[in-house]
Amino acid sequence: MAKRYGLVIDLERCIGCNTCIMACKLENSLEKGSWIRVDTIGGPHRDSPEGQHPQLSMHFLPVLCMHCEKPPCLDACPLEAIFKRSDGIVMVNEKKCDGCQACLQACPYGALVYDMTSNIVQKCTLCAHRIEKGLEPFCKICCETEAIYFGDLDDPDSSISKLIAARRAATLKPQSGTRPAVHYCATRQGRIE
Amino acid sequence: MTESGETKVIRTACGIVDGVRCGILAHVKNGVLVKVEPAEFPDPRFRHICARALCSTQFVYHPDRLKYPLKRAGKRGEGKWQRISWDEALDTIAKRLTVIRKKNGPESLAWAIEVMAYIRLASALEATMINPIGFGDAAGPCADEVTFGTQYGHLYTMDIKSPGMCVLWGANQAETRPYYWRRIRDARERGAKLVAIDPRFTSSASKADLYISIRPGTDAALALGMMNVIFEKGLQDKDFIIKHTVGPFLVRGDNGMFLRERDISSLDSDNYVIWDTRTKKPAAHVEEGTLPALDGAYKAGDIKCRPAFQLLVDLAKQYPLETASEITEIPARTIEGFALDYINRKPVASYRSMGLQRTFHGDLSWRAVATLAAVTGNINLDGYNEGYRRFLFDANTMLYGDKFPRPMPLLKAYEAITTGQPYPIKALWLAGHNFINQDPDNNKVLKELVPNLEFIVVADMFMTDSARYADIVLPTCSFFEYLDMLPPLDILSPYVQLQPKIIEPLYESRPDRDIVNEIGLRMGLGDDFPVSAEQYVERLLSSGHPSMEGITLEKLKEGPVEAAPYNFTGFGTASGRLEFYSEHMKEHGQELPLYIEPIESARQPQAKKYPLSYLSTHTKYGNHSLLANIAWLRELNAEPLLEMNPLDAAKRGIADGNIVVAFNDRGSVKLRVKVHQGIRPGVVNINEGWWRHHFTEGSYQELTHATINPAQLAVFDPNSAMYDNLVEVRKID
């Protein structure tokens, strides 16, 4: 059976602790930056709310490669360095990449990272190397509030498929037609972005 | 690429974050730590890791780690050092300590440490042990000693099964204690309401159903205002008050002490006395079949008395909604609604965290919040029995001989060093306590304390601000580099864990225990003075303490072992009851948890000059000053920022991102400003833990004072009132 791996991130659970960022750095030996980021949805700064004190709101939005069904980065790459595996994981072939960054322009989520030292583009692999060993993505393993769920979107009985149905989890920028594999459960206020 | 060597996975416990020891699996390849990940526990709720622990490899292999012993080669703080051998370092220290001890007495040697190994040396030398808890964490334990008879009253108020409401009182668990958050998360997902009371809109507050922005240091007035609402409607838990608190005990009108049976009878009995409404007579509290009065005024013999609960009601009456609102700057209807919700959503879990107790009278805030929980029956009676209490192994095993070192509260050490009272401290050894960066009134520390110390030794992994002022600096190991058994300070976890040696000590670094052994031998202590890490662990395990029963080194090597619980229900107070009224505090006028205005608030006279309340809160980006040098965390938290509300910024012509100076009579600090709505008008904040060189100029601890609260001193240790300081802020052109 074909699989389509994906994540569900519960924004009501996410407390913006950045553990996923450090997990990504550690797992992928990233001295600088990370393939997942945690945006503050609120005021102009990290960890700052919108509104007027004390009528305020703020939440955190982890953003990573959405492993889209129709990845615009793949279409944008002139060298065909980006490919999609049969399990749905979108990968960069670093040997083919020449660092032109056309994919960065094409991604609606800002999920690709250009590494200046090696002149290539990198991004979240959904920890494909772990999945191949039967393990789960490291950010999921480390998430302090257990806000990240991993599984097979094509299996209607998988925990994430059920969660998506139960919580009506949605994707980021659905209008872009990318059909992401990363889904989000909204906050209690019904907010995602 | 070929892989040489295989990766070994070894279980240990994280030593980065104080207050908790999450289980971690360390991956070691060719003797090098390459990765950590969370380890499982028999109870899966205790499987945790956080962003800080995931920086372990950065911490261990940090390029700035101290590599060999150093001797000061210039003036103190000048940064000129000479590399010396361990033998020279240890010989010099032993010699200097011996000379100072002979000249000024054994108590003139002092340790201020978070590393327990030094207790053995300090006890052998009959030296002084400065209790570092006064750097900001002493008022809560002090308060709980009064109310619950234990310093760990959290467990009574926080560890509530299936709460209908969780209240974060100055607590930001999502950032500073994320391992507690799952309890809050679970409660919320089962329908509990979350209330956050904080002058800052924190990550925790962002999850709250009700965010209450409070004027700093006024929490006792809020709790008393809520109690008044509750008492007026008669919604208190009378049964709990009668059975488990001092509420029914009669208090003498003449001296404020509890009436004792011996006061009104010929019996030589310490029994407390209640007023039995059935017989309309006084009776011993232990007498069965009585119906104790909680209100009214009575005469027992010739002595006028009232039940302690009546006195609490009278106190609460002084805080009607409009008064509570005026003090706290919380709308009256919010206080009233919160009070009624508190009743309707019982049981309520109260998370009182250290932010609540960092004003000058922060102990009273803690007591008031505990009292609110008590009179509404929101107390876990098994609190004494849980978690941390299981690890109070026999502390005598840490000593050499049978005497504890002389204890001295941190703020009293300021006096001892500067005035020689009650006795002079002439040599200071710091390990794990960054005195010169983290303790209050930094200019006083640098200008009055440091010059009065003849000899300073710092044992650390890094050249901290404290190490910069040392005469000898010793390089120590990370927690991956030596064997230890630790009291796992997560107060909710029942597991004892081992910290095995996972990698060899880096460079010339040594574990603190080895340093202690070497100094002991050089100072002529007995051949039996040195203890190996293994011997130390064996001693703790065989201490005879009930919590250690059945735990062996062999078992610990296999994984975490659950310690036996105490079989104790109730309270450790003199009365055995929850003491919201304390006769011991009568002499300080604090027998009840009253509200007292913070000593440096915007309503005090000095606010004309310095109108802003200054906080230095804790963050998710570090642990005190320990991780401020970790590049991975700095990517997210690049520099210190002064948080300021747009209203305060506009008044001062300050724009977001400007460099500003925050100042008062004690000192100043220059840094960038973060103007945002997440902080209350009239309040500014700098996250603590930054080192002096991270600021454009000055240091955040120049602004704080080291004033001693005498009531706290009498009970426990006086606390640094880190959140009770006034400043003004000006833009730098």
Pick among B677, B679, B684 to test the A interface (most A CBs inside 10 A): B677
CB of B183 within 8 Å of a chain A CB? The answer is: no
DSSP state of A176: G
Distance from C-alpha of B350 to C-alpha of B378, rounded to nearest angstrom? 8
Contact residues, chain B, for A44 at CB < 8 Å: 656, 676
DSSP state of A135: P
Its ipTM equals 0.97
The residue of chain B with its CA nearest to that of A23 is B54
How much is the pLDDT for B488? 55
Chains A & B: contacts with CB separation below 8 Å: 114
Please judge whether A48 and B48 are an interchain contact, meaning their C-beta atoms are less than 8 angstroms apart.
Answer: no
The residue of chain A with its CA nearest to that of B54 is A22
For chain B positions 613-652, those within 8 Å of chain A (CB to CB) are: 620-621, 631-633, 635-636, 645
3-state secondary structure B38-53: ECCCCCHHHCCCCCCH
Whether residue B1 is predicted with pLDDT greater than 50 in this model: the reply is no
Give percent of chain B above pLDDT 70: 97
Which residue of A16, A27, A141 is in closest CB contact with B38? A141
Residue B702: CB atoms within 10 A of its CB come to 23
Min distance A166 CA to chain B CA atoms (Å): 14
Contact residues, chain A, for B680 at CB < 8 Å: 53-54
Whether residue B3 is predicted with pLDDT greater than 70 in this model: the reply is no
Contact residues, chain A, for B635 at CB < 8 Å: 32-33
Average pLDDT over residues B450-463: 98
Which residue of B50, B212, B681 is in closest CB contact with A19? B50
Which position has the higher pLDDT, B301 or B424? B424
For chain A positions 165-184, those within 8 Å of chain B (CB to CB) are: none
Write down the domain spans for chain B: 7-60, 70-134+409-562, 140-386+575-588, 605-731
Which residue of B38, B178, B679 is in closest CB contact with A17? B178
The residue of chain A with its CA nearest to that of B34 is A26
Q: Find all residues with CB under 8 Å of A80, minimum gap 6, and list them.
A: A96
Sign of the alpha-carbon dihedral angle for B446, B449, B453, B456: negative
Please judge whether A59 and B206 are an interchain contact, meaning their C-beta atoms are less than 8 angstroms apart.
Answer: yes
**CATH code reported for the domain at B7-60:** 2.20.25
Pick among A18, A38, A41 to test the B interface (most B CBs inside 10 A): A18
Which position has the higher pLDDT, B159 or B139? B139
In the block, tokens 């459960």 appear at A185
**CATH code reported for the domain at B605-731:** 2.40.40.20
Q: Are B167 and B210 in contact (CB under 8 A)?
A: no
Contact residues, chain B, for A33 at CB < 8 Å: 635
User: Any alpha helices (H) in B318-458, and if so which ranges?
Assistant: 321-328, 332-344, 362-375, 410-419, 435-438, 442-444
- Return the closest-CA partner of residue A17 out of B48, B564, B405, B372: B48
Maximum CA pair distance of chain B?
93
**Residue B319: Cβ-neighbour burial (10 angstroms; 0-12, 13-18, 19+):** buried
Contact residues, chain B, for A43 at CB < 8 Å: 676-678
Please judge whether A15 and B204 are an interchain contact, meaning their C-beta atoms are less than 8 angstroms apart.
Answer: yes
Please judge whether A145 and B203 are an interchain contact, meaning their C-beta atoms are less than 8 angstroms apart.
Answer: no
Write out pLDDT tens, residues B242-296.
999 999 999 999 999 999 999 999 999 999 999 999 999 999 999 999 999 999 9
Distance from C-alpha of B407 to C-alpha of B112, rounded to nearest angstrom? 10
Sign of the alpha-carbon dihedral angle for B692, B694, B698, B701: negative
For chain A positions 8-47, those within 8 Å of chain B (CB to CB) are: 12-13, 15-19, 21-23, 25-27, 31-33, 42-47
Read off the pLDDT band of B494 (50, 70, 90). confident
Whether residue B450 is predicted with pLDDT greater than 90 in this model: the reply is yes
How much is the pLDDT for B2? 38
Please judge whether B54 and A57 are an interchain contact, meaning their C-beta atoms are less than 8 angstroms apart.
Answer: no
How much is the pLDDT for B20? 76
Distance from C-alpha of B41 to C-alpha of B256, rounded to nearest angstrom? 50
Min distance A63 CA to chain B CA atoms (Å): 15
Contact residues, chain A, for B16 at CB < 8 Å: none
Sign of the alpha-carbon dihedral angle for B261, B263, B264, B269: positive
Q: Which stretches in chain A have pLDDT values below 70? A: 1
Min distance B479 CA to chain A CA atoms (Å): 19
Min distance A123 CA to chain B CA atoms (Å): 18
Write out pLDDT tens, residues B327-382.
999 999 999 999 999 999 999 999 999 999 999 999 999 999 999 999 999 999 98
Contact residues, chain B, for A45 at CB < 8 Å: 674, 676
**CATH code reported for the domain at B70-134+409-562:** 3.40.50.740
Distance from C-alpha of B189 to C-alpha of B183, rounded to nearest angstrom? 10
Q: Find all residues with CB under 8 Å of A11, minimum gap 6, and list them.
A: A59, A60, A61, A147, A184, A185, A186, A187, A191, A192
Q: What residue ranges in B170-325 does DSSP mark as E strands?
A: 193-197, 210-212, 250-252, 273-276, 281-284, 298-300, 303-307
3-state secondary structure A28-75: CCCCCCCCCEEEEECCCCCCCCEEECCEEECEEEEECCCCCCCCHHHH
Write down the domain spans for chain A: 5-185
Please judge whether B57 and A15 are an interchain contact, meaning their C-beta atoms are less than 8 angstroms apart.
Answer: no
Please judge whether B211 and A19 are an interchain contact, meaning their C-beta atoms are less than 8 angstroms apart.
Answer: no
The residue of chain A with its CA nearest to that of B176 is A17
Decide: pTM greater than 0.90. yes
Give percent of chain B above pLDDT 90: 86
Phi, psi (deg, nearest 5) at residue B683: -125, 135
Mean pLDDT of chain B: 94
Q: Calculate helix-pair angle for B321-328, B219-232, nearest 10 degrees.
A: 170
Distance from C-alpha of A2 to C-alpha of B484, rounded to nearest angstrom? 49
Pick among B50, B200, B203 to test the A interface (most A CBs inside 10 A): B203
Which residue of A46, A52, A144 is in closest CB contact with B48? A144
Residue B443: CB atoms within 10 A of its CB come to 15
Min distance A117 CA to chain B CA atoms (Å): 17
Q: Are B671 and B686 in contact (CB under 8 A)?
A: yes
Please judge whether A53 and B677 are an interchain contact, meaning their C-beta atoms are less than 8 angstroms apart.
Answer: yes
The residue of chain B with its CA nearest to that of A19 is B51
For residue B400, give Cα distances in angstroms to B457, B530, B534: 21, 9, 16
Q: Could you please state the CATH topology (level 3) that the domain comprising B140-386+575-588 is classified under.
A: Dimethylsulfoxide Reductase; domain 2 (3.40.228)
Q: Are B119 and B398 in contact (CB under 8 A)?
A: yes
Min distance A1 CA to chain B CA atoms (Å): 31
The residue of chain A with its CA nearest to that of B182 is A145
Please judge whether A56 and B51 are an interchain contact, meaning their C-beta atoms are less than 8 angstroms apart.
Answer: no
Write out pLDDT tens, residues B381-404.
987 665 455 555 667 888 998 899
Average pLDDT over residues B540-554: 84
For residue B309, give both structure tokens: 């609960």
For residue B107, give both structure tokens: 């108590």
Distance from C-alpha of B644 to C-alpha of B656, rounded to nearest angstrom? 9
Please judge whether B674 and A48 are an interchain contact, meaning their C-beta atoms are less than 8 angstroms apart.
Answer: yes
Contact residues, chain B, for A42 at CB < 8 Å: 206
How much is the pLDDT for B530? 96
DSSP state of B700: G
Between B326-340, B441-455, B544-558, the lowest mean confidence (pLDDT) is in B544-558
Element (H, E) at B139: helix B139-147
Read off the pLDDT band of B639 (50, 70, 90). very high
Classify domain A5-185 at the CATH class level.
Answer: alpha beta
Min distance A32 CA to chain B CA atoms (Å): 7
Write out pLDDT tens, residues A39-85.
999 999 999 999 999 999 999 999 999 999 999 999 999 999 999 99
Element (H, E) at B176: helix B173-176
CB of B255 within 8 Å of a chain A CB? The answer is: no
The CA-to-CA distance between both ends of chain B, in Å, stands at 56
Contact residues, chain A, for B22 at CB < 8 Å: none
The residue of chain B with its CA nearest to that of A41 is B206
Pick among B46, B47, B198, B206 to test the A interface (most A CBs inside 10 A): B206
How much is the pLDDT for B16? 85
Helices (H) and strands (E) in chain B, counts: 24, 30
Distance from C-alpha of B329 to C-alpha of B334, rounded to nearest angstrom? 11
Please judge whether A17 and B656 are an interchain contact, meaning their C-beta atoms are less than 8 angstroms apart.
Answer: no
Chain centroid, CA A124 distance in Å: 7
Phi, psi (deg, nearest 5) at residue B187: -60, -45
Distance from C-alpha of B519 to C-alpha of B265, rounded to nearest angstrom? 60
Pick among B33, B177, B201 to test the A interface (most A CBs inside 10 A): B201
Which residue of A21, A49, A141 is in closest CB contact with B677? A49
